[in-house]
């Protein structure tokens, strides 16, 4: 595996972690509780790392919503 492939795999893993954590917080406490600061603390990365993946809270929420819609579509099939 090349260095580039490893970096891409790690980046994808961080994105999955961000989205899973955002969803978990939202399910437990509501969407208002999902903040970049709280996400960064929970996943133990800095806020700039979050912003290197998503432009902000709205983009994270949108990605979680798309993920949920894809899961619902798969379940309906």
- Domains located in the chain, CATH noted: 3-76 (1.10.10.60)
What is the reported pLDDT for 1?
77
pLDDT tens, residue by residue, 28-59: 999 999 999 999 999 999 999 999 999 999 99
Q: What is the pTM of this model?
A: 0.90
- 37 Cβ contact partners less than 8 Å away, ≥ 6 residues apart: 47
pLDDT over 90 percentage in the chain:
97
Q: Between vectors from CA 64 to CA 58 and to CA 68, what angle results, nearest 5°?
A: 140
Other CB atoms within 10 Å distance of the CB of residue 15: 15
Indicate the average pLDDT of the chain: 95
- Three-state secondary structure call for residue 43: helix
**Nearest CA-CA partner of 57 in 43, 41, 37, 42:** 37
pLDDT tens, residue by residue, 6-20: 999 999 999 999 999
- Kindly state the tokens that stand for 77: 């099939």
């Amino acid at each position: 595996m090349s260095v580039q492939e490893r970096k891409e795999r790690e980046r994808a893993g961080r994105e999955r972690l961000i989205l899973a954590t955002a969803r978990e917080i939202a399910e437990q406490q509501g969407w208002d509780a999902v903040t970049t600061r709280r996400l960064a603390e929970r996943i133990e990365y800095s806020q700039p790392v979050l912003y290197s993946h998503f432009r902000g809270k709205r983009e994270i929420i949108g990605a979680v919503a798309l993920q949920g819609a894809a899961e619902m579509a798969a379940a309906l099939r």
